[in-house]
């Protein structure tokens, strides 16, 4: 098992949404190694959004509709979920709920087609808590 400090990340410097925080600064107080090295690699599929980190887990969404919870300390996939719709924005972590939005709509002639949803998932197992 790899210690949190050897990865250069800590829970106190979580990155729980796009650009880190509600201020969207894109800055972190975490120390970054001068010469980083690859510690772990796993395939999750195509993604156009940024991953987030919080509560010891990295969360990644993909355009193929999958959300992954990755444990960087044990180098394993904690859980993954297929929501069945593309995910093109970064998820967000709030009060132990992972929030993600689907993107089924395409803009055509100033109108949307398809359905979009916002989902709230349990961070421990990925099970859906709510959806709108």
Q: What domains sit in the chain, N to C, each tagged with a CATH number?
A: 4-17+45-131 (2.40.10.480)
Model pLDDT for residues 5-61, shown as the tens digit of each residue: 444 444 555 655 544 555 555 556 666 778 888 888 888 888 778 888 888 898 999
Residue 73 contacts residue 62 (beta carbons within 8 Å): no
DSSP H stretches of helix in 26-126: none
**pLDDT attached to residue 5:** 45
Model pLDDT for residues 67-109, shown as the tens digit of each residue: 999 998 899 999 999 988 888 888 888 888 999 888 765 544 4
**pLDDT attached to residue 75:** 92
Neighbour count for residue 38 (Cβ, 10 Å): 5
Q: Of 23, 122, 18, whose CA–CA distance to 60 is shortest?
A: 18
**pLDDT attached to residue 84:** 85
Q: Of 32, 37, 35, whose CA–CA distance to 13 is shortest?
A: 32
């Amino acid at each position: 098992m790899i210690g949190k400090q050897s990865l250069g990340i800590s829970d106190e410097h979580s990155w729980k949404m796009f650009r880190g925080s509600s201020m969207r600064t894109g800055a972190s107080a975490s120390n970054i190694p001068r010469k980083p090295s690859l510690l772990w690699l796993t395939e999750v599929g195509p993604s156009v959004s940024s991953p987030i980190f919080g509560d010891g887990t990295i969360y990644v969404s993909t355009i193929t509709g999958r959300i992954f919870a990755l444990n960087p300390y044990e180098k394993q996939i904690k859980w993954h979920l297929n929501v069945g719709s593309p995910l093109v924005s970064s998820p967000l972590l709030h009060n132990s709920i992972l929030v993600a939005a689907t993107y089924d709509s395409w803009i055509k002639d100033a109108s949307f087609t398809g359905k979009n949803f916002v989902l709230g998932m349990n961070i421990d197992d990925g099970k859906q808590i709510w959806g709108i």
